[in-house]
Amino acid sequence: ERQRIAIARAILNDPKLLILDEATSSLDTESEYLIQKALERLTKGRTTFAIAHRLSTLHGADRLVVIDGHSIAEVGTHNELMEKKGIYYKLVTAQLQMQKLKEEKEEALGA
């Protein structure tokens, strides 16, 4: 609910620059989807700095900047960074593996 209110306020203010701490990691899948769709509309045509916990929320970005420690480690689109197989690639694949394990665990418990 708080995320939706914050998104609505941002839309009303019509800022040229957005700074977002994407905090959808604790949401259920449906709420996360709705918030991601709202954020896609909100960020279109704006400079946006997003701190992402779920890297899947960044796939549509024009440019991603990966910071390691105190310096920029990688810059590119999602596809470019995946091809480089650097830090971003390792983080994405680790997150996908964790999600797969979580789903398998849920299936096993539900069976």
Q: What was the pLDDT predicted at 70? A: 95
Q: Would you state the pLDDT for residue 93? A: 95
Q: Which domain holds residue 100?
A: 2-110
The per-residue pLDDT string of the chain (111 residues; one tens digit each, 9 = 90 and over) reads: 677 787 788 878 888 888 888 665 666 777 777 877 877 888 888 888 888 877 887 888 889 999 999 999 999 999 999 999 999 999 999 999 998 898 888 888 875
CA distances to 4, 5, 74 from 102, rounded to whole Å, are 27, 30, 29
CA distance 45 to 49: 13
CA dihedral 10, 14, 20, 24 (to 10 degrees): 50
pLDDT at residue 21, as a whole number: 80
* Residue 93's CATH number: 3.40.50.300
At residue 90, the pLDDT reads 96
Q: Give the per-residue pLDDT at 22.
A: 67
SS3 24: coil
Interior/surface letters 63-72, b for 16+ CB within 10 angstroms, e for the rest: ebebeeeeee
Q: How many structural domains compose the chain?
A: 1
User: Is this prediction's pTM over 0.75?
Assistant: no
